[in-house]
Amino acid sequence: MPRLPERVRDRVPIGIAVLDGYYRVHSWNAWLAEKTAISEESALGKTLQDLFPHFNSPRLIWAIGQVITRRSPQVLSQALNQFVIPIRTAIRGRHGTSLMQQQAYVNPLAGDDGRVYAVLSILDVTESVSRSSALLEVAQKLQSDSNRDALTGLYNRRFLWEWLVQQLKLCNRYDHSLACLMLDIDHFKRVNDGHGHEGGDQVIKDFAQVVAAQLRDSDVLVRYGGEEFVVLIPHCGAECGIASAQRILAAVRGSKLGPLAPGEVTCSIGVACWSSDHPSTGEELLKRADKYLYEAKQGGRNAVVPKTVRAFKS
């Protein structure tokens, strides 16, 4: 029989069990008895499958076999295995888990009978895992928030430039086209003057929803600043870009936005396109779209420029 000093075995803040080659328990310390509600008397001579009917840990079974046959110590990380035996935990909540997360070690132990046994040591890392999950969520939220506009929830200018750099690389590599639409709400100052900033904010939020409804999931809608927006449409040439802009123009004109009735809010749109025939940097693409937007504004607003592919200038 293998022997472990009881004063060590039962005072350490970790679980310790000794198992033989048939996975039967020969020692079960006080920590395990407390956490599993299985006394040592009840555990002795039983297999892990006997103690935990739903026990299923091929990695632990393999590790015990390696320790006993080859005397090769094994480590079972929480990241890969989560837990080796199912133990309920008191930690709950958003970042909690119903089962204790465990780091486990399996080491050889020579018994008085000349046989080799496996010493299973279990560390409770649930709190650490929960804390790490919470920190990761915060980090992801901060990253998401840094790329989002606070009012509309749309992507912001920072995201636009990061996305556009990568997308133009793909366009160049695979000979894809990319349409860029720059949109501006017409006479927006009048909206703010007549309905206050609260009414103006609601118009901007409703405008964003109307535009988004006209786009595909793969398209990118950005609040560029103030009442100005950018739409980026992958795999879309000049004809597709102009058609998309016309569709958005009609949808905005026909929608109730904030406190204003359909027809009271319009927008102007400039359309530019990246293609292998007319390659450009991201800055140049946005400048072309902005130039066409200016022409739409100067031409009376509530318009798309260019109106046709034939009128499209590179």
Domain 147-305 classified CATH 3.30.460.80?
no
Phi-psi region of 187 (alpha: psi -120 to 50; beta: other; left: phi over 0): left
pTM for the whole structure: 0.59
pLDDT band of residue 99 (cuts 50, 70, 90) is confident
Share of the chain above pLDDT 90, in %: 66
For residue 77, the SS3 value is coil
Count, residues in the chain: 314
17 beta partners: 28, 120
Residues 238, 261: Cα–Cα separation, whole Å: 32
* All CATH 3.30.70.270 domain ranges in the chain, comma separated: 147-305
Catalytic residue numbers read 227
Residues 6+ apart with CB under 8 A from 230: 160, 180, 181, 182, 183, 221, 222, 224, 286, 289
Give pLDDT, residue 114.
87
Percent of the chain whose predicted confidence (pLDDT) is above 70: 89
Q: What is the pLDDT of residue 94?
A: 46
Confidence of residue 93 (pLDDT cuts 50, 70, 90): very low
CB atoms closer than 10 angstroms to residue 8: 10
Q: In the chain, which residues fall in CATH 3.30.450.20?
A: 6-132
Best CATH choice for the domain 6-132 from the list 3.40.50.720, 3.30.1540.10, 3.30.450.20, 3.40.50.970: 3.30.450.20
Residue 135 has pLDDT above 80, yes or no: no
Task: Supply the DSSP string of 177-212, one letter for each residue.
Answer: -EEEEEEEETTHHHHHHHHHHHHHHHHHHHHHHHHH
**E runs forming strands in 142-266:** 178-185, 220-225, 228-234
Q: 167: alpha, beta or left, given left = phi > 0 and alpha = psi -120 to 50? A: alpha
Model confidence at 142: pLDDT above 70? no
Least confident of 9-13, 23-27, 34-38, 69-73: 9-13
* Stretch 132-158: mean pLDDT: 74
